[in-house]
Structure 1
Amino acid sequence: MPLIHTRVWLLLFFIFVGSATQDKTPDTHVTCVISEDCALPCAFQPSSHEVIRWFRGSVHEVLVHSFRSADSAEEEDGEDEEEDKEDEEGAEDGEEDDGEDEPGPQKRGHHYDGRTSLFPEMVALGNATLVLKGCGPKDRGRYRCHVRTMAGIHESNVLVKVEAPLRILHMELSRLSGFEEIKCTARHVYPAPHLTWETDPPASQLLRPITRKLADKQTGLYMVESRLRRSMNHPEITYICKVTSSYGAQSWTASLRERAEISGPEGRDISIPCHAPARLHNPLLSWTFTHGLDPASILTYDSQSQRSSVSSPWEGHVEMDANRVLLGDGSLRLLGPDHDQHTGVYTCVFSAPYRTHTEETEVTISPMGSFATPRKQLEQPTEMHSVKVSTPAEMNPGGETSPLTGPDTQRQTTDTPSGET
């Protein structure tokens, strides 16, 4: 009887110890950026004889990576005896075996060949983090970290999302389809984002954009293009395109306003207005000129570095008050304009983190002696200064209320699509 009692006690002890050494932690969520390396965390109680395996999948698991420490080769238990013998040569050095020794039903994921690694020097400290190199859309899903040591077994799951964040949002006025359209385009993004349109002031009729989402067959990245027909009843309305990532981590806004045509005679200075609808943080400002198909750069100004650049053909022909750019005023003055050289479309673009604002103005310079009454009377001259590097004086926030106005005015990159999808 004492022997039976002893055996029962030992059995209960081993059951208790076995359940106590099974360590399971809550799921971890990780977002990986496409084409970049990504770390999938896994921490366990440091011990010895570590055997680490990473799997991917929920129903049919695929072996992603495996690792055996040097001292684990000395372990010879019944279940792993054959596995230890096969791995003895590589395990003596504590090397990662890339999962080729894995017995049982698990398949080896060749998609991960040469793309996975651990930090071998960190394993003894309880760190089994997996590094996944050059992430792509196919890498998303559930990963399981399984660690066996002398102290017991640890398991944890990592849920991986993969994204290619929006880097730039492009908005333009297009006339190629036979009528005027506002086009909003986002490229090289994953997953496909959500796009919406609105106007300022709000449109009286429902907006009906046409939106396309195309995935690249090789990379899986999306190009999203949305077109909205321009309203002829509201000549100076502002069109606003907003793009939100599928995971909700990013929101971009781009806006475009087509101003009324400005006309003037040769030789008389003209002021071309450009006003951002909300005060932006250290915006970049660029002016371009289009007479035909290809736009030509006039000038650029970085309000953060206070550096400016004027294209050589425009030197001496334009002025801009750099001190007012931070206030959202990037108006340009043409000095002694010429009919042949300066008649065309002028475009200004304010760029800040996650925001862009574009304004287009058609300017007609009449030959000397043939100037007619302009469609829009020339604005009263305002004091202008040549683009220069100077520290702006204290400026008060201003600007009209607009759907573009938001609490976050920090710098980021923007490119916007349209139409909610």
Structure 2
Amino acid sequence: MRAATRAVSPQLGRDAAAAGEDHPASAAYAQAEEWAHRAHEAAQAGDDESAREYAANAQECAQASRALLANRDADVEYPGGEKTDVTALEEGRAAHALADAADAGHAPVVPRSDGGCTVAWDQDGFAGAATVYPGDADDGGHPHAGLVFTNLDEDRYQALANSPWPYRTEGGAVVYDRVPAHQAEQIIAAARSGEPGKPWRRHGLTAAVSRTALPDDEAEELEDESYSWSQELTDEEESYVNEFTAEHFEEINSHLYNGKSPDEIVDGMGVPLGEVCTHLDSAIDRAPEPDQPHIIYRGYKPPREVIKSDRVLEWVKDNFKVGGVYRDDSYMSFSHCPEYAASFSPNKWFDSKTDKGEASHGVVFEAVTSRGAAVAAVSQYDNEERERLLKRGSTFHVVGIQENVRIAGANKVVIQLADVTDVPRF
């Protein structure tokens, strides 16, 4: 239904949105979007007759919108239909929040035939548009947004340049192709205020230049939590957690990384992967929900050639972008102690006595999450590792990259992550 798609052009949508919520052109364009959406659905269902009718209606509504933009009092008629209630959709509510961030709370939210919701604003030295789309499984169902800033004064542009989100420029506009909607809200706020955005702050993280060991009293609290949790475990759950922490974590995670069948026997364990995961998952699910999210750490090893060529910092920036998503299909062991986690963040390499070296950085994850089990009470290492075990398939939004952070006397690049289950919904 190319005719319907052409009728509801993005430019017409932006013009209608910029005209204002009460402008009749906005209502006509919204109706054009609705008819275009119906035309697409009818075509997908093989109902060609209805698809042609709906596409013609979309064109009539778009023509009416253009006429009303040229003359608000124009005497035009267009085919009506059921109006989309954008407040019933999370992407619609998110679009309203983005309008508020732009200090344009009365701007209309225009539903699109592709499932998005668009809002636009135009103020002195500050103009742009945002389209919010429904979430998908890759980022925990959170809506995501595309942003276009078409007019920014120097201070506002500099605020975005000094913020951590990557963007591109096109035809004089600043474009963010895809960011989580809650971070799009922060980008717009940064542009409006002229102050660089610091998304890690929203999750209780900092840009401090160092991280220190977990205090002893907090380590004791971790032991108490773990003991209480262990009392709820079945014998099978306790046994599998113990085996995972002791010697079989590599075999289990290798099976998960490689997408092996749940029926396949785990090397060295003699039982199917599915049985192992069932008990590990149920054990972790028994962990209590904390009053405040945990801040936990995990050492990370870049590819060997990256370490040897001392390109760790560049590699991190290429592979972990603020606003991106990080997911791990394995069970992830974190530590509440940054210094312990840093011991699993190698920056040295050794091929021979005469062929060895050291990169300028190691890599450490710093994550905020309300999930995971403190496993000290059933671990063969007791509480030495200050360990918290997260379920397979944990997904995070990247909220910060901190360079040259001193941990245990060494420089680290700290990748800051927020568990998608702890990110507020709209």
**TM-score with structure 2 length normalisation?**
0.26
The structure with the greater share of residues assigned to strand is 1
Larger gyration radius, structure 1 or structure 2: 1
**TM-score with structure 1 length normalisation?**
0.26
By relative contact order (CA 8 Å, sep 6+), the higher-ranking structure is 1
The structure with the greater share of residues assigned to helix is 2
